[in-house]
Amino acid sequence: MSRFCVLAPLLLAGAAASAGPAFDYALQAERVGADVYVFIGRNEDFTAVNGGNIVNTGFIVGQDGLLVIDSGPSLRYGQQMRRAMAAIDPRPPLQVFNTHHHPDHFLGNQAFAGVPIVALDATRQGIAAAGNAFAENLYRLSGDWMRGTEVVAPGATIVPGTVKLVGRSLRLLALGGHTAADLAIYDETSGILFAGDLVFNGRAPTTPHARIADWLAALDTLEAITREAGFTALVPGHGAIARDAAPIRQTRAWLRWLEQSMQEAAVAGLDMNEVLARPLPAEFSAMALGASEYRRSVSHLFPAAEQEALSHAH
Amino acid sequence: MKLPLMVAAVALSALMPAADAANLQERGDPLNSARWNEMHKAFLAGFPYIFDPRVRVIAPGEAENPMQVPVTVDATALGKVVEVVVFADFNPIVEVLRFFPESAAAYLGFRVKLQQSTPVRAAVRTADGVWHVGGSWVKTIGGGCTSPSAAASSPEWQRQLNMVSARQWRDGELAGRLRLRIVHPMDTGLVAGTPAFHLQEIRLADAGDQPLMRIETFEPVSENPVFTVHQAVAGPVRASGHDNNGNTFSVLIAP
């Protein structure tokens, strides 16, 4: 009997280890520029292995505290993000921005209880309307990494424009196209542009709520910022940081191709299954998740292209 | 169970080597579905049938949108086809549609609402009375049958109900293709307070009113259904039909 008592704790420890190293996202803050840091996620889809660490989040160190840009996919992520931030600078987070209403960008909000969380109006509405459904979906995809995660909606609406916050000059841009409302933040002090999911780098863009025309217009706005004298770096919503506009051009090329190929397929008379079966052009064959995002995008975008092609028949 | 299979084997022996035919029978349901026996009872009881890879049911292995899962049934590798019934084993409403190819090809593209991961199957009756069964599994997060239609949140559809947009392709690889889209909520009746409201029949005919294809549609067909058909007759095609509330439509689709 006494032997079992000794064994039992060992078995439990073994079980915990096999379930992943205590659900550790191993977040490492990467310095982008003066007092600006990011946590770069993997260029993968949500899995029970990565726990949803597929997104870039960041923070800016100001005079009295930290400004947080997106809070990640889960409560655990938000908590671990706070610990990793505290290791860089002990001052408290003063404000959290949610760039848009997709779950990998706001489900860590819970870890920032008591800190003002802000977003564009349509983002707040989107989280209120679809947040729980998004969270359920991530429980399904990421499993126990999500334990305890609940939706905390932003409590205030951002007024776009240039603001002085914690001693820094921030340009808040109310854009859209990836979703109904996409916030981009240009830290004029450091010349670093947080593009949110308007820009993907080396990973195919996601389109469940996309309006391509708006998105392309937003990319033009962002690219203009990269031509400003003070610009130093671009932080995409997914993928590596860049020192130039290359990820903007890559995202634009993908979206233009996607839009054009949906239109051409619809005009040619293809059925959705035939559109799904088409191969990616060589230009995009190396892009992470290109094949799977293409298939998802067909589901999102082809019905409208089809409707357009059929209603303009003679 | 044995007797129908034997009849099927006789019918098939003319079409494929005996060993292949025997193989097809002995393996049982190639999709290994717990619901197959129920499906057999509902659709095929008393008739000769066989699982037949010549019946192609093309659908994504993983469906992004459970309310619009594209399905293409292609039974053109068989001889003369009289009737095709499409069903999904694990849907709350199992029967999706039936179509009768008449002079059109035994081919139909459409989209379906799925409530959970399920086989989607086509049973194809050839002129000799044998049912040929094909299918494929579709994985989906589900909920397609109990989510409200988009029409439920917008009054726009009432003005456009049964409006048809359609087009024929006469040249190139897709010559003979006809696609049509019909505005209809296709409500399943499984959303609280919204009764079943769906298209029941769509008829395609040539200018001389000779039938090309007849389609019987049920609740699981997706909202604003889009159909892809192949037919060889040149000239305009008449599309007509009705829903379960007696609303009708009839349009001429130019060549």
Q: For A167-214, what is each residue's pLDDT tens digit?
A: 999 999 999 999 999 999 999 999 999 999 999 999 999 999 999 999
Tell whether B236 is within 8 A of chain A (Cβ).
no
Q: Cβ distance A284 to A290 under 8 Å?
A: yes
Q: Indicate whether A299 belongs to any domain.
A: no
Question: In the prediction, which pLDDT does B1 show?
Answer: 38
What are the pLDDT tens digits along chain B (255 aa)?
Answer: 334 444 444 445 445 555 555 555 556 899 999 999 999 999 998 899 999 999 999 999 999 899 999 999 999 999 899 999 999 999 999 999 999 999 999 999 999 999 999 999 999 999 999 999 999 999 988 777 877 777 777 777 788 899 999 999 998 889 999 999 999 999 999 988 899 999 999 999 999 999 999 999 999 999 999 999 999 888 999 999 999 999 999 999 998
User: Which residues 136-175 in chain B show a CB within 8 A of chain A?
Assistant: 141, 165-167, 169, 174
Average pLDDT over residues A148-166: 96
B56–chain A Cβ distance below 8 A for any pair: no
Query: Do B71 and A273 make contact, defined as CB atoms within 8 angstroms?
Result: yes
Which ipTM did the prediction report? Answer: 0.88
Contact B70/A306, CB-based, under 8 Å? no
Give me the CATH number covering residue A94: 3.60.15.10
CATH topology of domain B2-253: Immunoglobulin-like (2.60.40)
* Domain limits, chain B: 2-253
Do B167 and A276 count as a contact with CB atoms less than 8 A apart? no
Contact in structure between B235 and B207 (CB atoms under 8 Å) = yes
Q: What is the mean pLDDT of residues A122-126?
A: 97
Residues of A in contact with B64 (CB under 8 A): 295-296, 299-300
Report the pLDDT value the prediction gives residue B226, as an integer from 0 to 100. 98
Interface contact A271-B169, CB threshold 8 A? no
Q: Residue B87: what are its φ and ψ, rounded to 5°?
A: -145, 160
Chain B residues near residue A306 by CB distance under 8 angstroms: 179, 181, 226
Shortest alpha-carbon distance between residue A229 and chain B (Å): 43
Is position A80 within any domain?
yes
- Portion 57-116 of B in contact with A at CB < 8 A: 58-60, 63-65, 68, 70-72, 109, 111
Distance CA B53, CA B56 (A): 7
The 3-class secondary structure across chain A, one letter per residue, is CHHHHHHHHHHHHHHHHHCCCCCCCCCCCEEEECCEEEECCCCCCCCCCCCCCCCCEEEEECCCCEEEECCCCCHHHHHHHHHHHHHHCCCCEEEEECCCCCHHHHCCHHHHCCCCEEECHHHHHHHHHHHHHHHHHHHHHHHHHHCCCCCCCCCEECCCEEEEECCEEEEEEEECCCCCCEEEEEECCCCEEEEEEEEECCECCCCCCCCHHHHHHHHHHHHHHHCCCCCCEEEEEECCCECCCHHHHHHHHHHHHHHHHHHHHHHHCCCHHHHHCCCCCHHHCCCECHHHHHHHHHHHHHHHHHHHHHHCCC
Mutate to test the interface with B, among A134, A209, A270, A271 (most CBs of B within 10 A): A271
CA distance A287 to A298: 17
DSSP state, B235? S
How many domains does one find in chain A? 1
Residues spanned by the domain of A190: 23-245
* C-alpha torsion A214→A215→A220→A226, nearest 10: 140
Query: Given A273, A296, A310, which is nearest B109 (Cβ)?
Result: A273
User: Residue A198: inside a domain, yes or no?
Assistant: yes
Determine the residue of chain B that is closest to A275 in CA distance: B70
Q: Which of A271, A295, A310 sits opposite B167 (nearest CB)?
A: A310
The pLDDT value given to residue A255: 98
Q: CA A292, B180, A257, A247 torsion: positive or negative?
A: negative
pLDDT at A20: 52
